[in-house]
Amino acid sequence: MSAPVADRDETPPRLRDDTTRFLCGAAHRDQEFADSAIREYLVESTRSIPRSPGVNTGAVLREAVAARARRKVRDLVLVVLAILVLVAAGGDLLGLWVVTAVVVAVGMTGALGARAKAAKQEKKEVPPQPRGPLALGAAAAAVAAFLVLYKVIEEANQPSAAYCRRYDVCGPSGAEVAFTVIGILLIFAVLLADRVLVWLLVTKSFRRKGFRASGPQQPLWANEWKVRTLGHSGFERALAHFPVEDDAPVPADRAQVVVYDGYRPFVGSGTMFEPWSMALPLKPTEEHGDRPRPGFALPELYDHITAELLKTGRSPSLSPGHRLKDLTTGDRVVISAVELVDHIDDPEARIVLPNKDSAPQRTVDQSVVDGLIARPMEWMRYFRSFQVETWDRDVVVSAYLTFGLDEEMLYVEWTPCILHPIEARHRQIDVLPEQSLRPLLEALADLVRFPATLHRRFATAVGWLTPIHQADGTHVAARYGAKTSLRELASERQVDNYFQLTDIERYIKVLESRLLRTLGEFLESKGISVTEFMEQAMQVTNNNVHITGPVISSNIASAGRARAGNVTAGREKA
């Protein structure tokens, strides 16, 4: 039997920072993503902003603003040209164009509807979209449809073709035909220019070799930075809160604050994966029956567990790519936005929200952490976090640990979370050729279905983004709490391959196993019997509790368990 290779102090392979590139490309290719990012991060000046692992938030938001400005200019020009064509074109041409556009659009809507249904089934958090611009767009489209119908009926009631040829009194004039042709050509030119600009961005600006997060730098193509900085002046104050160069970690003596709106407390960490909890009676062993209980304080337990978990990555064979060596830890103060508003005048709320017209504090000092460890509140709690980035930051595994303690009981809660890879359609930018006819073909397709998209283009051209209304003397929770992060807006709800799935299981099982072993050894060192602890730990280790909702087995509770495999990914139920 061969001896194992000795552990070496190897430097793990450097993680590529592709996530930012992909999200910058998504901002220009996916209007829903760009608008959702702006609404979530830039419109509400009082909202708590979650960190997105592996994402340069400032760079992505600047591209989202530029993409929105480009679309508004494009669609405003297209609406003006559409009015020109609508006035000048004959009813037969308009009727044929509208029917063709509707047929093509219905076919495409089926695929988009299936994707939207899948996202709804996966409970993907998407900020609500304002209905005002869409209502105006629908009204404008209705007026345009009425004019088209009027022209079709009018031409149907004209005299016969022979009569028209004989007396030359029917049909459009030469000027009308010229205006129609010029208008359609200009519409196509605008659609083509927009497609070419996006193609240049995703095949040149956002490629791995040439990607730069900010300017001014040597442009990769003509007017690159003019396109990428469109509309920034309108969001200058909001963007100033997200500098491109700001990638500093949270100081060791500070705790990151997360204010969440909705159900998910760990916003930015993805989907919960097999959370569990246990309640342990603190019974002394026979030889330590006279020792006072519990014999330790929670800060000591947190520090001991943290120190041992950080030793997990010493061996490169334990984690592919030696990723566990880069396991990071930190303090989190997690707060419900609804309850924060409900307690907004309490002294504890003023610690994280000293100014009701500003965003909550991003960090708090150690004294707040110490207070929450000793006396957690229903709406404000402390967690120790552990995080490992893997697969070139495509997959991020996070875990949140919290304890409760008195003289007779220790409560343990462990919540792993998974951030899945960016959606495959956003990662396609790395395989698109720089020279291609695809922008031309896409522009032609846009021209064919243009009448059916007129309502949406009108909504984009005149659309506005306004903060959530808050009446005087009231406070709305949605203005302070975050629902999602940039990564979660564009993430898959499943892994890409089997190895990613097994790595997720590997990291969580390794951390869980070391946590349980360290906890047992710690309790034993304090003269506390671990007999019942071993029984409960065995259930966690063997994964005997399967979740289809809140389930309690013995003193172990696993609630809201989210799988991460095979569609949603994870081990199949027996």
pLDDT tens track for 255-308: 999 999 989 999 999 999 989 999 999 988 877 666 666 789 999 999 999 999
Say if residue 448 is in the same domain as residue 404. no
- Is the previous residue joined to 299 through a cis bond, with omega within 30 degrees of 0? no
In a domain, 334, yes or no: yes
Structure token digits, residue 133: 């611009």
In a domain, 271, yes or no: no
Say if residue 26 is in the same domain as residue 65. yes
Q: Between the CA atoms of 291, 294, 300 and 303, what dihedral angle is there, to the nearest 10 degrees?
A: 120
| Cα(336)–Cα(482) distance, integer angstroms | 10
- What's the structural domain count of the chain? 2
Say if residue 386 is in the same domain as residue 315. yes
Digit-coded pLDDT (tens) for 471-496:
888 889 999 999 999 999 999 988 88
Instruction: Please check the confidence at residue 572 and state whether its pLDDT lies above 50.
Output: no
**Phi-psi label, residue 167: left if phi above 0, alpha if psi -120 to 50, beta otherwise:** alpha
Say if residue 72 is in the same domain as residue 156. yes
Q: Write the DSSP symbol of residue 572.
A: P
* 124 confidence band (pLDDT: 50, 70, 90): low
Structure token digits, residue 3: 């001896």
In a domain, 449, yes or no: yes
Instruction: Please check the confidence at residue 546 and state whether its pLDDT lies above 70.
Output: no
Find all residues with CB under 8 Å of 462, minimum gap 6, and list them.
133, 136, 137
Average pLDDT value for residue range 48-65: 91
Say if residue 446 is in the same domain as residue 305. no
In a domain, 569, yes or no: no
Say if residue 401 is in the same domain as residue 440. no
Structure token digits, residue 536: 């409960």
Average pLDDT value for residue range 554-573: 43
Q: Which residue has the higher pLDDT, 441 or 6?
A: 441
Q: Indicate the length of the chain as a whole number.
A: 574
CA distances to 114, 125, 415, 570 from 121, in Å: 11, 11, 23, 17
Please, what is the average pLDDT of the chain?
Answer: 82
β-strands 328-336, 254-260: how paired? parallel
Query: The tokens 């020109």 sit on which residue?
Result: 84
Say if residue 231 is in the same domain as residue 325. no
| Cα(323)–Cα(316) distance, integer angstroms | 8
Q: Which residue has the higher pLDDT, 94 or 470?
A: 470
Average pLDDT value for residue range 219-235: 93
Say if residue 80 is in the same domain as residue 218. yes
Say if residue 232 is in the same domain as residue 362. no
| Cα(232)–Cα(225) distance, integer angstroms | 12
Going by C-alpha positions, the residue among 221, 207, 199, 215 that lies closest to residue 18 is: 207
pLDDT of residue 388: 95
pLDDT of residue 289: 61
Say if residue 458 is in the same domain as residue 319. no
Q: Which residue has the higher pLDDT, 1 or 78?
A: 78
| Cα(61)–Cα(429) distance, integer angstroms | 19
In a domain, 561, yes or no: no
Structure token digits, residue 487: 């990564």
Q: How far apart are the first and last CA of the chain?
A: 36
In a domain, 284, yes or no: yes
| Cα(232)–Cα(101) distance, integer angstroms | 34
Digit-coded pLDDT (tens) for 136-180:
666 766 766 666 665 656 655 555 555 455 545 555 556 767 878
Instruction: Please check the confidence at residue 80 and state whether its pLDDT lies above 80.
Output: yes
Average pLDDT value for residue range 38-67: 92
pLDDT of residue 291: 66
Domain with 528, as residue range(s), is 279-419+497-542
Q: Considering the entire predicted model, what is its pTM? A: 0.83
In a domain, 523, yes or no: yes
pLDDT of residue 292: 67
| Cα(547)–Cα(165) distance, integer angstroms | 78
- Report the number of secondary-structure helices (H) and strands (E) in the chain: 19, 10
According to DSSP, the residues that pair with 400 across neighbouring strands are: 385, 415
pLDDT of residue 134: 65
In a domain, 249, yes or no: no
Say if residue 465 is in the same domain as residue 379. no
Say if residue 449 is in the same domain as residue 338. no
pLDDT of residue 503: 93
